[in-house]
Amino acid sequence: MIDHGSAKGMKRAQLARQTGCNLETIRYYEKISLMPDPPRTASGYRVYDESHVERLRFILRGRELGFSIDELRGLLSLVDRGTQTCAEVKLLTDQHLADVRAKIKDLKRIEKVLAATAAQCSGKQVPECPVLEALGS
């Protein structure tokens, strides 16, 4: 264990502030082993270092780009093994990109249907509503 007096790291709250990540999110990532367990001081405090900051930023950026936890786990396992190749990372990224494009296609379809349905709605104080009729059919 690290001696609390000589620890040159940061506590979880400092890690949260430095990365802009919620404390509970950090706990969650530790619980699901996306973040490695940090060493502890003699008094039991977790001590994070720059490697934890870098990993958490990687995870947060991946989440911003829509990577799922499992997709990030796959990318991180490549990095952790130190045997990653650009081809492996590209394959995972291309799979994710295909999923993103499919979602965009679905959202465009939904937008078209909603716009057409909303355009039929008079917006007046009457009981008949094309939006409700479309949802009910």
pLDDT of residue 8: 65
DSSP states along 69-112: HHHHHHHHHHHHHT---HHHHHHHHHHHHHHHHHHHHHHHHHHH
What mean pLDDT comes out for the span 65-89? Answer: 93
Instruction: Enumerate the domain spans of the chain.
Output: 1-67, 85-137
Roughly what angle, to the nearest 10 degrees, separates helices 23-31 and 12-19? 110
The conformation of residue 124, written as its DSSP 8-state character, comes to: S
- 80-132 pLDDT tens trace: 998 889 999 999 999 999 999 999 999 999 999 899 988 988 888 888 888 88
Whether 92 and 75 have beta carbons less than 8 Å apart is answered as yes
Residue 4, pLDDT > 60, answer no
What pLDDT band is residue 137 in, cutting at 50, 70 and 90?
A: confident
14-39 pLDDT, tens digit each: 999 999 999 999 999 999 999 999 99
Tokens of 58: 């990687």
The CATH number of domain 1-67, selected from 3.30.420.40, 1.10.1660.10, 3.30.460.80, 3.40.50.300: 1.10.1660.10
How far is the C-alpha of 44 from the C-alpha of 73, rounded, in Å? 27
Query: What confidence score (pLDDT) does residue 105 get?
Result: 98
Q: How far apart are CA 136 and CA 52, in angstroms?
A: 51
**Residue 71 and residue 96 in contact, taking contact as beta carbons nearer than 8 Å:** yes
pLDDT beyond 80 at 2: no
